[in-house]
């Protein structure tokens, strides 16, 4: 592999992991909020 491949690979992996993490945190916050809302409506 040449140098550019290593650079591309590390930037690609980093952006994938970071955006995946951000998406996961965002979705888990939204799901938890939805669950609270639903439970409060049931009460």
Partner 1 sequence: MSDAVINSGLAAYANPARFMRLSQTLVPFFALPAVALIAYGLWLSFTAPADYQQGETVRIMFIHVPFAWLAMMTYSIMTIAALGTLVWRHPLADVAGKAALPIGAAFTALCLITGSLWGRPTWGTYWVWDARLTSVLVLFLIYLGLIAIHRAIEDKGLAARAAAIVTLVGSINLPIIKYSVQWWNTLHQPASISSLKRLANPALPPEYLWPLFTIAIGLTLLFFALHLTAMRAEIWSRKADGLSRRMARQAG
Q: Can you give the binding site for partner 1, defined by CB under 8 A?
A: 1, 3-4, 6-7, 9-11, 13-14, 17-18, 21-22, 24-26, 28-29, 31-33, 35-36, 39-40, 42-43
Q: Nearest distance from residue 31's CB to partner 1, in Å? A: 8
Shortest CB 37 distance to partner 1, Å: 9
Indicate if the alpha-carbon torsion angle 7, 10, 13, 17 is positive or negative.
negative
CA distances in angstroms from 25 to 7, 18, 22, 34, listed in the order given: 27, 11, 5, 14
Q: How far is the CB of 40 from partner 1 (least distance, A)?
A: 7
């Amino acid at each position: 592999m040449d140098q550019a491949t290593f650079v591309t690979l590390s930037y690609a992996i980093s952006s994938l992991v970071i955006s995946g993490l951000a998406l996961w945190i965002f979705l888990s916050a939204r799901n938890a909020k939805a669950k609270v809302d639903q439970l409060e409506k049931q009460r």
